[in-house]
Amino acid sequence: MEKQGNIRIASENMMPIIKKWLYSEKDIFLREIVANAQDAITKHKKLVDLGEAAAEEHYRVTVTTDPKAGTLTVEDNGIGMTEEEVEKYITQIAFSGAADFVDKYEKAGGDGIIGHFGLGFYSAYMVSENIEIFTRSYREGAAGVHWESDGNATYTIGDCEKETRGTKIVMHLAKEEKEFLKENVIRDLLRKYCSFMPYEIYLNPKGKDDEKPVNDTHPLYLKQPKECTEEEYKSFYRDTFMDFNEPLFWIHLNMEYPFRLKGILYFPKVKKQVELERGKVKLYCNQVYIADNIKEVIPEFLMLLNGVIDCPDIPLNVSRSFLQNDKQVQKIAKHITKKVADKLIELYKNDREKYEKCWPDIATFVKFGCIKDEDFYKKVEEIIIYKNLAGEYRPVSSFYGEEISEEDAKNGKEPQAVYYVSDENKQAQYIKMFKDAGLDAIYCDTYIDPHFLSYLEYKNPARVRFLRIDADVAGALKEEGGEDDDLKKLFEKALEGKHVTVRTEKLKDTTVPAVVNVSEFARRMSEMHSFYGMGESPADVTLIVNAGNPAVQALKAAAEEEQGKAAEQIYYLALMNYRQLTPEELTAFVSTSTLLLEKYLKNDR
């Protein structure tokens, strides 16, 4: 005998809101319904363990699409429900502050309602115009129960013929939601949301010989690390992330105290150095998919990795989709960060060759992590490496000098200068000069390096300052006795109007007539203005004329007209080694080159 009743909620306006705005993505309804089925099986299994229910040979969840009937069905052989339990668990949507909730979100047009309360079963109404439940409790002598509602706050309930224990949810899909009747669509959703659920899930089974579950009930991350082979780790990576490039290495997380946490984090091979590629860290709770890249659990810089993390102790609110603010979450995030740092340190100490081989791919990630997380920086600061001019990797801290005292700093003493190369091709002449002079520098080849070097200066203000290899050439490469007022005036006259400061120095490399020098501070300010769209401010350019160069010395004896043209030519040659010439500068350079070449050939004859 059927009877009718009202779904008991705090407001009659709640059902339309539930149906329309319960979750951010309506396809998540399948996760909720299948997860409820898995929960029902878990409950029955626990009763079996307690000796309060008969054992089951094969627990399973079956998902069936029926395009002709327009239904999507999810059935389990779990604990089942009595009529009283159906009325208690299905027809009562109980949560505090419901009226305030409705008032708030109706006024806001529903924006932001996603995941604020747990109504997993009712998520199915986002795609259904009517839902039926057929269920039978595990209790001896329990009758089958049929419940039905179109989601408009009323339902009917009564007896039904159901021979087996468990629950079957039949969703009559709305006309505009027929996409969810396609087997391939449902298969993809099951793989996305239900890949690692603990009990087998079958989609449209056609017979025992043809049955194959769509999920992996014992995923690799649940095993002990010592039980897993290298090939299993790689296979799990390929299957989970559909990335057929082998990961560089991985971290297997496995702990029980002070919270339960299992998972595998993979360091992928970087495809592009010019941008930080976002990875995908999938978060699970008891093998139920929650979301990707949840920032409360996964620190921002770790989102560059690929991985799976399963933490049963995550304090989810009842919707499964959003985390509650909790100190436990912060502890979990810190622990994950610590394990990543520990793995990097272990690799650095125990397999330096592999660490250096992986460094070009992980350098951006490590540097980004240091900037974003000071605790991470403190752990890994001694294993941050850079390649020097000899092509050898060294910890960047090994280039630092002794810490200068406050008194020395007040008296003008500066911390150790560490020179760096930002463009090996453009700065080739400077690199040669440094090598010839027996000086060293580091190669910076990731786009994050300018920010990271500033961060290192901030963290070690009394030990290091970074200068690009062309920022203080005279200071690094000069010898005594290079001042020459006559040469200085000669070049100043020839370059009048070009906004360049002229200095004469005697450089160790006599083959170079002149070099351009731009102060580190001026260049950084210029680049910062450009980065923030303020236009690149002109940096103060200094031309260092090499008084020890034979061609420069020969200028003194040349005719005045030739002096001017030759000085201008030397300026352009130095500028070309610093940056690309503007069209106007290139035109002038070619014109002067032609004149000097003609003059040389005439004199030669």
What number is the average pLDDT over the span 5-25?
A: 58
Does the pLDDT at position 97 exceed 50?
A: no
Does the pLDDT at position 11 exceed 70?
A: no
Residue 500 CB partners (closer than 8 Å, separation 6+): 541, 542, 543, 571
Which residues in the chain are classed under CATH 1.20.120.790? 383-604
- What is the separation of C-alpha 123 from the centre of its chain, rounded to a whole number of angstroms? 30
235-269: pLDDT as tens digits: 999 999 988 889 999 999 998 888 889 999 999 88
The pLDDT value given to residue 377: 97
The residue with tokens 């002079």 is 437
Query: If pLDDT is split at 50, 70 and 90, which confidence band does 411 have?
Result: confident
132-150: pLDDT as tens digits: 999 999 999 999 999 999 8
Helices (H), 216-288: 230-241
| Contact (Cβ atoms closer than 8 angstroms) between residue 323 and residue 267 | no
Point out which residues pair with 5 in neighbouring strands.
Answer: 155
C-alpha dihedral over 105, 106, 108, 109, to 10 degrees?
A: 120
Question: Which residue, 510, 503, 518, 512, is CA-closest to 470?
Answer: 518
Q: Which long-range contacts link 66-72 to residues 24+ away (Cβ below 8 Å)?
A: 66/181, 67/178, 67/181, 67/182, 70/172, 70/173, 70/178, 70/181, 71/170, 71/171, 71/172, 71/173, 71/181, 72/170, 72/171, 72/173, 72/180, 72/181, 72/186
The pLDDT value given to residue 158: 94
Query: If pLDDT is split at 50, 70 and 90, which confidence band does 20 have?
Result: low
Fold of the domain built from segment(s) 3-210: Heat Shock Protein 90 (3.30.565)
What number is the average pLDDT over the span 148-171?
A: 92
Could you give the 3-state DSSP secondary structure of residue 437? coil
| Contact (Cβ atoms closer than 8 angstroms) between residue 109 and residue 116 | no
What's phi and psi for 277, nearest 5 deg?
A: -85, 130
Query: If pLDDT is split at 50, 70 and 90, which confidence band does 152 have?
Result: confident
The pLDDT value given to residue 17: 61
Query: If pLDDT is split at 50, 70 and 90, which confidence band does 195 have?
Result: very high
- The rounded distance, in Å, linking the Cα atoms of 586 and 433 is 25
What number is the average pLDDT over the span 155-176?
A: 95
Determine which helix (DSSP H) or strand (DSSP E) holds 104, and give its type and residue range. helix 98-107
The pLDDT value given to residue 83: 94
Residue type, 74: V
Does the pLDDT at position 207 exceed 90?
A: no
How many CA atoms lie less than 13 Å away from 184 in the CB half-sphere?
Answer: 0
423-448: pLDDT as tens digits: 998 888 889 989 988 999 999 988 88
The pLDDT value given to residue 318: 44
Task: Quote the percentage of the chain above a pLDDT of 70.
Answer: 85
Determine which helix (DSSP H) or strand (DSSP E) holds 186, and give its type and residue range. helix 183-194
Query: If pLDDT is split at 50, 70 and 90, which confidence band does 114 have?
Result: very low
Helices (H), 249-398: 327-350, 352-372, 374-380
The pLDDT value given to residue 243: 85
- Of 11 and 577, the structure prediction assigns the larger pLDDT to 577
- The rounded distance, in Å, linking the Cα atoms of 453 and 470 is 16
Question: Which residue, 75, 57, 196, is CA-closest to 132?
Answer: 75
Does the pLDDT at position 539 exceed 70?
A: no
491-529: pLDDT as tens digits: 999 898 888 999 999 998 888 999 988 888 877 777 666
The pLDDT value given to residue 355: 96
Question: Which residue, 169, 138, 163, 166, is CA-closest to 60?
Answer: 166
Query: If pLDDT is split at 50, 70 and 90, which confidence band does 288 have?
Result: confident
28-82: pLDDT as tens digits: 899 989 999 999 999 999 999 999 998 888 999 999 999 999 999 999 999 999 9
- What is the separation of C-alpha 390 from the centre of its chain, rounded to a whole number of angstroms? 32
With both helix axes pointing from N to C terminus, report the angle between 98-107 and 14-21 in degrees, rounded to the nearest 10.
60
- The rounded distance, in Å, linking the Cα atoms of 453 and 360 is 17
The pLDDT value given to residue 164: 93
Does the pLDDT at position 180 exceed 90?
A: yes
Point out which residues pair with 538 in neighbouring strands.
Answer: none
The pLDDT value given to residue 9: 53
Rg (C-alpha) for the chain, rounded Å, is 35
Buried b (16+ CB within 10 A) or exposed e, 127-161: bbbbbbbbbbbbeeebebbbbbbebebebebeebe
Point out which residues pair with 253 in neighbouring strands.
Answer: 263
CA dist 347 → 225, 350, 396, 397, 511 (Å) = 16, 5, 17, 18, 45
What architecture does CATH give domain 220-380?
2-Layer Sandwich (3.30)
The pLDDT value given to residue 16: 63
- The rounded distance, in Å, linking the Cα atoms of 437 and 511 is 13
Query: If pLDDT is split at 50, 70 and 90, which confidence band does 231 have?
Result: very high
Query: If pLDDT is split at 50, 70 and 90, which confidence band does 112 have?
Result: very low
What number is the average pLDDT over the span 596-600?
A: 79
The reported pTM is 0.78
CA dist 567 → 554, 562, 596 (Å) = 11, 8, 11
Query: If pLDDT is split at 50, 70 and 90, which confidence band does 94 have?
Result: very low
The pLDDT value given to residue 488: 92
Class of domain 383-604: mainly alpha
Query: If pLDDT is split at 50, 70 and 90, which confidence band does 530 have?
Result: low
Does the pLDDT at position 315 exceed 70?
A: no
- What is the separation of C-alpha 548 from the centre of its chain, rounded to a whole number of angstroms? 52
Which residues in the chain are classed under CATH 3.30.565.10? 3-210
Residue 559 CB partners (closer than 8 Å, separation 6+): none
Burial-class residue 332 by CB neighbours within 10 Å (0-12, 13-18, 19+).
Answer: buried
| Contact (Cβ atoms closer than 8 angstroms) between residue 146 and residue 133 | yes
Query: If pLDDT is split at 50, 70 and 90, which confidence band does 470 have?
Result: confident
Q: What is the mean pLDDT of the chain?
A: 85
The pLDDT value given to residue 109: 45
Which residues in the chain are classed under CATH 3.30.230.80? 220-380
The pLDDT value given to residue 275: 47
Does the pLDDT at position 320 exceed 70?
A: no
Tell me the two tokens of residue 88.
């208690």
- The rounded distance, in Å, linking the Cα atoms of 334 and 298 is 9
- The rounded distance, in Å, linking the Cα atoms of 346 and 352 is 9
**What DSSP line would sit under 259-270, residue for residue?**
S-EEEEEEEPPP
The pLDDT value given to residue 517: 86
Does the pLDDT at position 374 exceed 90?
A: yes
Could you give the 3-state DSSP secondary structure of residue 549? coil
Could you give the 3-state DSSP secondary structure of residue 581? coil
